[in-house]
Chains A and B, each alone.
Chain A
Amino acid sequence: MKKKNKKLIEYVFLLVIVLLIASFFVANREKPVAASFLEGPEDISRARIGVQLGTTSDLIASEEEKNGATVVRFSKTADAIQAMMKDQLDCVLVDSMTAGAFADANPGVSIMESNYPVEEMAIAISKNNPILKDKINRALALMREDGTYQSIRDNYFGEDKGLNPYVKQDVDRSNGTLIAVTNATFEPYEYIENGKIVGFDIDIAQAICDHMGYELEMNDIEFDAIITAVQSGKADIGIAGMTVTEDRLKNIDFTDVYAREGGLSILVRNGNNEGDMSFKDKLVQNFLEENRWSFLLNGLVTTIIIAIIASFIGIVLGSLIAFGRTTADMTGEYKIMNAILKCYLTIIRGTPAVIQLLIIYYVIFASSNVNKVLVAGIAFGLNSAAYVAEIMRSGIMSIDKGQFEAGRSLGFSYGKTLWYFILPQAIRNVLPALGNEFIVLIKETSISGYIGIMDLTRAGDFIRSRTYEAFIPLVAVAAIYLVIVIFLSKGVSMMEKKLKTSSH
């Protein structure tokens, strides 16, 4: 057995090395791409434009779409920039304050002069919470009076950028906790540095809480989920450089404006490929700088926790459903229960897991403040249970009827017969299918990012959004999943062998 494990580890290492070499070649094969054709802002109506979904840029680009432009919407601006560097887009529309940061990080990207109107940013808040809105507005007014606001502003946009960061005040926070959501991909408004959500908006939110005597809980979720989160009561406020628009006002309310910024900028490709890094530098940048490997590690732990919770729920609930279904089928009774179970299986197996996850988080757990990882575990568990149920049912059905009769004729009840005689044999028969279900499950958890969980996939996404490098983080994440699945399959086949020998 030990020798075999050693062989497996060698095999996995070999695989990782092959992937690394492959990525080296792919990375070096990247061809230089010429500059964008745009000569001025008026050319944008002929261009392929990239924007972040749901942002002001999206609204403006949608107008250009009517003039003949092609608009591609991304969940991260960084993804749009990567697409532009691969000549899939001609330009990317972003708000001006973040444009500088993107251009600084990418020598191949320039800002094109343009004159989009000024944006007014406000904090999103539920329409049902006028008291909190009032409190925040008062805190904002107070911050402008006592100079807190100006000091935070100067720290991000003034001459002495970064020299005078806002420090969380030591105040009494007994008034409650303010749950805030943001989308930490707009530097310098909100972004992640050394594993923490930081930025202008975050400091503003902290200062508001300091003034109101509240604890601040900041969560990072997808931008287009912020309004839903606030509306459903999952969060008290959304602060993510949001401008007030008619559409948004239909669903939520806004506080007073806390910032006015110089509108949008057009980012274009300048044809400068000299800044390209060597493969080794890219590895250092993607994994070692700012300890980025730790995101992958934490993400991996989160993924595994979700998978364990989900498998447990899946096995227990799935087995119960299988019992219920086979009992109903065998006895011809419990018709109502059978119909309900069938309905459950049809719904779960007939709808995408992402939608189930979103419904469970935003609708079923809407008003309660349950840990997100637990919610994801429950959602994937409920999903997996449907598949486990059918696998187990087929296993139970595959056992000879004589086994059942033997158990019953000795005096074992229906349930005890299932437990002592049918189930152990059924599980042995369906173990490969069950193993396969858990392999599917662990990969399925990669959609946890939709409700803002930093799982393995999202950790890779996050590194991507910081380094503007698509290939290396994605391959790394893929390799980690692959290694988990290889070990899982190995475990399943070892268990199969063990169960087989126990019957010899």
Chain B
Amino acid sequence: MENNAVIKIENLHKSFGENHVIKGITTEINKGEVVVILGPSGCGKSTFLRCMNMLEIPTDGKVFLNSTELTDPDCNIDKAREKMSMVFQHFNLFPHLTVLKNLTIGPEKLKKMPKEEAENKAKEMLKRMGLGDKYNHYPEELSGGQKQRVAIARALMMDPEIILFDEPTSALDPEMVGEVLELMKKLAKTGMTMACVTHEMGFAREVASRVIFLDNGVIAEDGTPDEIFSNPKNPRLRDFLSKIL
């Protein structure tokens, strides 16, 4: 098991000034796992996820990607991030670039992939996602669901070892949530390692291989979806589930 860990986190702490958000988290995410992170708002879910790719610099503790320590000051974080893409709540597509360019700019500029190869790969990927006719459009011409699917495609273009999803459906109109979840489900089936902060309990139940419940900056419960949803032990988790389901 030890060798299978894509991400390893040791005693992670994060404070914003006086505000102590993450208060010591130790866990691992193994290859092929789909880990859903749940928790009441303000419990530090997003901060925890963003510490994994160092968008937030941990105050204390260690984060490893495979055997590379990301919290080491000498670590080339840019190189490491190529292997761990992120999908954001607000998509964060580049509005001045076409859909195609949004997808190809990463492989082209960072992996020195030839333009034609990158474009073919991007078009192939868009076609698979049902966006084959959109590659020449600009992001503002797409619907929210389409934007998020493009963002997932952009993440996949880097051939990452893990994708971090930060509330990928929270900013979407209800009728568009389905298409994004559907795509994420497909992705999970291909064996992609995923860590996902979400409020979609259905997705967690059906797709997740593991659910982590965060409360007050620590892991309050960690188990399979079955254990978490059918047999919650932690009183805070029970309270949380009763409000949300």
- Tell me the A residues contacting B by CB distance below 8 Å: 400, 402-403, 405-413, 416, 420-421, 424-425, 428, 502-504
Contact = CB atoms under 8 A, between A and B. Distances in A.
Interface stretch (B27-35, B74-82, B117-125): B74-82
B78 A411 contact: yes
A503 B138 contact: yes
Given A425-B94, A504-B140, 6 more contacts: A406-B92, A409-B85, A410-B106, A411-B79, A502-B96, A504-B141
Contacts of A421: 94, 96
A476 B86 CA distance: 61
B88 A402 contact: yes
Contact of A428 (B96, B109, B154, B158): B96
Contacts of B109: 412, 416, 420
Contacts of B78: 408, 411-413
A503 B96 contact: yes
A402 B141 CA distance: 19
Contacts of A400: 90, 92
Nearest to A413: B78
Contacts of A410: 81-82, 85, 106, 110, 154, 158
B81 A411 contact: yes
A405 B85 contact: no
Nearest to A417: B78
Nearest to A423: B96
A182 to B, nearest CB: 55
Given A420-B105, A420-B109, A503-B138, A408 B95 contact: no
Nearest to B83: A411
A430 to B, nearest CB: 14
Lowest 6 CB-CB distances: which A-B pairs, in order?
A: A411-B82, A406-B92, A409-B86, A402-B92, A411-B81, A410-B106
A399 to B, nearest CB: 10
A421 B90 CA distance: 16
Contacts of A416: 109
A405 B158 contact: no
Contacts of B110: 410-412
Contacts of A420: 105, 109
Interface residues of B, number: 25
Q: Tell me the interface secondary structure of chain A in the complex.
A: helix
Which of A405, A411, A428, A502 has the most chain B CB within a 10 Å cutoff?
Answer: A411
Contacts of A411: 78-82, 106, 110, 158
A229 to B, nearest CB: 50
Contacts of B105: 420
Contacts of A409: 53, 55, 81, 85-86
A420 B92 CA distance: 14
Contacts of B82: 410-411
A109 B234 CA distance: 105
B163 to A, nearest CB: 10
Nearest to B82: A411
Given A410-B110, A411-B78, A504-B138, A402 B96 contact: no
Contact of A405 (B80, B92, B106): B92
Interface string B130-166: 0000000010110000000000001000100000000
A409 B53 CA distance: 7
A214 to B, nearest CB: 59
A413 B79 CA distance: 9
B218 to A, nearest CB: 25
Given A421-B94, A424-B96, A503-B138, A406 B81 contact: no
B88 A405 contact: yes
Contacts of A405: 55, 86, 88, 92
A324 B244 CA distance: 47
A187 to B, nearest CB: 61
A202 B141 CA distance: 71
Given A409-B81, A413-B78, A504-B141, A425 B106 contact: no
B140 A503 contact: yes
Contacts of B79: 411
A400 B90 CA distance: 11
B63 to A, nearest CB: 15
Interface in B89-113: 90, 92-96, 105-106, 109-110
A368 B138 CA distance: 53
A428 B94 CA distance: 13
A412 B81 CA distance: 8
Contacts of A424: 96
A5 B71 CA distance: 59
